[in-house]
Amino acid sequence: MAKKILILGGTAEAARLARRAVDAFGERAQIITSLAGRTRTRSELPGQVRVGGFGGTQGLADYLKADAIDAVIDATHPFAATISAHAATACKEAGVPRLVLVRAPWRPKPGHSWTDVDDLNAAADALVGAAKRAFLTTGRGGIETFAAVPDVWFLVRLMEPPQKPLPLPDHQVIVQRPPFTVESERALLAEHRIDTLVAKNSGGITEAKIDAALAMGVRVVLIRRPPPPPGETVETVEQAMAWLQERI
């Protein structure tokens, strides 16, 4: 009988894993990708896709049991701490093996340095009196944290147009999706005369903005990741495939 694999998704790695698993396991596995449903557009995914929250930890545990899920891969974004915590508890309760797939964080290269902060509030504090034109790449959630920062103009990059005006006094929105190149990021920073980049330490392909900013002497304020979820963890799709191979 086909094994049922649930991938908690919303990342490029989750999408790549779904593609690889569908190709590699064929009828031996049923690959289900779960998305929170935050974006209106999403890339084409093979296998099954379910959209929307499970209704907390208990809802996820009930889903795992009712759908007889054989294994879970938590491939959500490193800043999606709530769903990861729910998955850890729910899998334990339902007795379902779980692997965390999370990309490596960015680490400074020789000669590079940036300002590490703990959260959005600390990032906003780090701008006060130090920035005039800031590039915000932290996503839609929590933008209001920057509303009270005085005398700063914000360039805000989002994946989709905002549905209502952003709660920032002085700003411009650009809608762009990765991948980006160091050259295009340099051009953007220069065009808008950015002096400070604010980003989450997401890791992965959006590193071009960090490289571009550091090369141009633009200050980088990087928000640290929340504590990682417990349990076996890998950093690459290949390692996650090897883990699945043992179970299918």
Chain Cα centroid distance, residue 165: 23
Cβ of residue 116: shortest distance to ligand NAP, in angstroms? Answer: 17
Cα separation, 59 vs 67, whole angstroms: 12
Q: What is the DSSP string of 133-182?
A: EEEE-S-STTGGGGTT-TT-EEEEEESS--SS--S-SSEEEEE--S---H
Query: Residues near 145 by Cβ (< 8 Å), separated by ≥ 6?
Result: 120, 121, 123, 124
* 145 is a contact residue toward ligand NAP (CB under 6 A): no
* 30 is a contact residue toward ligand NAP (CB under 6 A): no
Cα separation, 236 vs 148, whole angstroms: 39
Structure tokens at 228: 């990682």
Which of 2, 28, 53, 183 is the binder for ligand NAP (CB under 6 A)?
A: 53
Nearer to ligand NAP, 76 or 145 (CB): 76
Stretch that binds ligand NAP, among 5-13, 88-96, 103-111, 179-187 (CB under 6 A): 5-13
* 139 is a contact residue toward ligand NAP (CB under 6 A): yes
Beta pairing class for 133-136 and 29-35: unpaired
Stretch that binds ligand NAP, among 34-42, 106-114, 176-184, 185-193 (CB under 6 A): 34-42
30 with 96: CB under 8 angstroms? no
Query: Residues near 58 by Cβ (< 8 Å), separated by ≥ 6?
Result: 90
Stretch that binds ligand NAP, among 7-15, 115-123, 180-188, 207-215 (CB under 6 A): 7-15
* 8 is a contact residue toward ligand NAP (CB under 6 A): yes
Structure tokens at 13: 């790695």
* 11 is a contact residue toward ligand NAP (CB under 6 A): yes
Nearer to ligand NAP, 76 or 196 (CB): 76
Cβ of residue 10: shortest distance to ligand NAP, in angstroms? Answer: 3
Which of 82, 115, 201, 236 is the binder for ligand NAP (CB under 6 A)?
A: 82
Chain Cα centroid distance, residue 28: 29
Buried b (16+ CB within 10 A) or exposed e, 71-90: bbbbbbbbbbeebbbbbbbb
Which of 15, 61, 77, 203 is the binder for ligand NAP (CB under 6 A)?
A: 77
Buried b (16+ CB within 10 A) or exposed e, 51-62: eeebeebeebbb
Which of 80, 124, 168, 237 is the binder for ligand NAP (CB under 6 A)?
A: 80
* 137 is a contact residue toward ligand NAP (CB under 6 A): no
Nearer to ligand NAP, 61 or 194 (CB): 61
Which of 10, 120, 166, 180 is the binder for ligand NAP (CB under 6 A)?
A: 10
**Could you list the residues that contact ligand NAP (CB under 6 A)?**
8-11, 34-36, 38, 53-56, 59-60, 76-77, 79-83, 86, 139, 200
